[in-house]
Structure 1
Amino acid sequence: SVSNRSLVEALEAKVLSLQQQLLCNVEKIDPVPDAMLATEFRQLAKAIKGLSRQIQFNDSDSLIRIDAIRQSLLVGRVKQEDLKSAVRMRPIVEAFVWSVLYGRLFCSPFYMFESIDLANDFLVLFGEDHQHQWPSPTTSSEQWRLISMEQLLHQVGEEVITTGIVQEKCPQLEANIQRVRSKVKDNIEGYLVRVSPGTNFSRVDDIVDKAFSLALHIFLQRCRIQVVYPEVGDAYEGEQPHLDSIAESIEVEKGSVALIASPGLAKWGDGEGKHLDQRLDLVPAMV
């Protein structure tokens, strides 16, 4: 339609303007080494696993009786017979926590700012034909994403994102960030407390801090970095760059993915934002 074409043309003009700004600022960006991002991801995964070990189950169905857990992104993909296995209760807790983090934070660079408009602009401009309905990584898409992130970060600073401490630089945007952080915490704690009311959920604050810090760091890189996960039913043939087994499946050498306890971290391109067609798995998904 005419209105859609006008919208796209306006957004394309915005892309050109932002790319020109990026050329002036590109030297300010220091790429974070892959090993540091992988370590940060693993520290978050470790914190989530620690929370899962604190949960006390009354029975093996206590988790899956809660619709929000059973239907969450990663848990909802699991077959019913696999959900009922008591040995998988703790991995299901992990999968639920990761589902909340992905849906509220990692599925778009702009969700941490509660900027749905920017998230939609990203897709309208560059499409949804990459993994998990992201745009395919191109020089244009990654420059647009990066300069947009930098502009938002410039308004608020890192601390409000990584710790929730308000700096009073941009009250509305800071309030948005605090609201997203609160929603993540409330979603995780609010449902798990129904399963294990006696648990101390102070670990959730640390999980939120670690998740927002990781999201900020991966979305400020010139290359594309995404939290990724396989599909239930995908082939598993022992340890692979993008897949590894959880303790409950350690003896399985070949088979298919039945449960994703933890997603992985994948990178397209290099520190300079080149070679965006090349994928490197920094951390495998745990299945």
Structure 2
Amino acid sequence: MKWDDQTAGTIDVVADKLAMDSLEAGNLRNQVRVLQKEMLARVEKCDAIPDEQFAQDFRNLVASIKTLSRTMKFAEKIDLVGILETPLMLCDVDKKHWEGRARKKCMIEAWIWSVLLESIFGSPFGILGIAATNLQEVWYGLFGAGDFHDWPTPSPLCETWRCTTMESIYGGVAVRDIVEQGLAKKEGELTIIEESILKTRHLVSKVIETRLKIISPDNAFKHVPSIVDKAFALAGQISTQRARLQIAYPGVGSKFDKQFMTPRSDANCKDLEDGSVAFIVNPGLIKWGDAHGKNLEHRYDIVPALVQLEGVDEIQVQTGIRENESAKGYADMVKQGM
């Protein structure tokens, strides 16, 4: 285009448009930089909770579940397996291991943990309830299912995506209050995610109380709200750390490893340093990587799983975890509140 009196106006319009586009592009780049800084700041905020605090919070939850199991009053010969079925941590356990009142109370602990694992600890997004379904599908779609409890193999990109995603959701005061204490605004003011969190909290409480009431009808279950509060608070904190934290447990029949497990003291059994896992009382809290989200191949058991051991010749040694139909259906049970 040549410059003359006839084209000057057109060129000025084009020049103005180009200048405006350049300005908008510059503004967009600045906005992107700001967003990047905000995301990095969010990730940096994820470093605040030390391992010692996680260990204490986890042990507090363990203690609350143990206390609830100790308040349960039931007949000596009650069929707990028939009532509770065998989800997750109870899967593959020989019925003979649940004989006696003390062992039955261990079974109740393991059952409560199985409900929590199915409903909220089975995924970094579990506290969100139904609202987490799409997030979880995207997570697996992007990073694939790994070998350790089917979670994607830890990687810097995977953990950054998980951490920043959950921090953007969990960072708000309103959502945090709902997750940790069940405190909510007026019902009409709730977002879809907030409603889903509240519903999940309610259903977890209902599942625990409804099933355990069959065993101990006169129990007031006053410890259940505290268990739910502590579990959801811990799950929320876990989900926003740069390192991966995961609640997991060994398979029944696994060879005892003192690095990852703590043996349960049992007056009826001698100490077995080379035994196998007969059943799991409570899972452990595992950390992959350091506070900066690096060295993700390194596993550190903040709190080892508590297990009951038996002699290696008493059990056919198995590895891993086999889910049965009951275990697979437990997530649906929580969703339905049954």
TM over 0.5: yes
8 Å CA contact 2:283–2:306 kept in 1: the answer is yes
Aligned to 1:221: 241
Spell out, residue by residue over 1:174-213, the C-alpha distance to the aligned partner (whole angstroms, 9 max, x if none). Answer: 1100111011111111111100011120100000000011
Q: How far off is 1:130 after superposition?
A: 3.5
Partners of 2:113 and 2:48 in 1: CA distance: 25
Q: Which runs of 5+ in 1 are unaligned?
A: 1-17
Corresponding position of 1:15: none
Match of 2:75 among 58, 62, 65: 58
Residues 1-287 of structure 1: pairs in structure 2 closer than 5 A: 22-23=39-40, 25-66=42-83, 69-114=84-129, 115-154=132-171, 156-167=174-185, 170-236=190-256, 240-248=258-266, 251-287=271-307
Counterpart-to-counterpart distance in 2, 1:86 and 1:50: 15
What SS class does the counterpart of residue 91 from structure 2 fall into? helix
Partner-residue secondary structure (3-state), 1:64: helix
| Pair 86,157 (structure 1): closer, same or farther in 2 beyond 3 Å | closer
CA deviation map 1:47-89 (0-9, x unaligned): 00000100112133331121xx222111123123223454410
Q: Secondary structure at the match of 1:241?
A: coil
Unaligned runs of 5+ in 2: 1-34, 308-338
CA distances 1:215-253 after superposition (whole Å, capped 9, x unpaired):
11111100000001000000125xx12101223267333
1:146–1:222 CA contact under 8 A, matched in 2: yes
Deviations 1:8-41 (A, max 9, x none): xxxxxxxxxx988633543333331000001100
**Partners of 2:68 and 2:224 within 8 A in 1:** yes
SS at match of 2:211: helix
Give the structure-2-normalised TM-score. 0.74
User: Is the radius of gyration larger for structure 1 or structure 2?
Assistant: 2
Question: Residue 301 of structure 2 aligns to a residue in which SS?
Answer: strand
Asked if the contact 1:228/1:263 (under 8 Å) is kept, the reply is yes
Identity of aligned residues (%): 37
| Partner amino acid, structure 2, of 1:173 | I
Q: Is contact 2:47–2:292 with CA below 8 Å preserved after alignment?
A: no
Q: Which piece of structure 1 moves more, 125-134 or 202-211?
A: 125-134
Please provide the CA RMSD for this pair: 1.9
Shift of the 170–146 alpha-carbon distance from structure 1 to 2, 3 Å rule, reads farther
2-side partners of 1:272 and 1:190: how far apart? 42
**Cα deviation, residue 171, structure 1:** 2.7
Mapped to 2, the partners of 1:163 and 1:230 lie a distance apart of: 31
Contact 2:58 2:234 in 1 (8 A): yes
Aligned pair count reads 266
1:21/1:147 contact within 8 Å kept: no
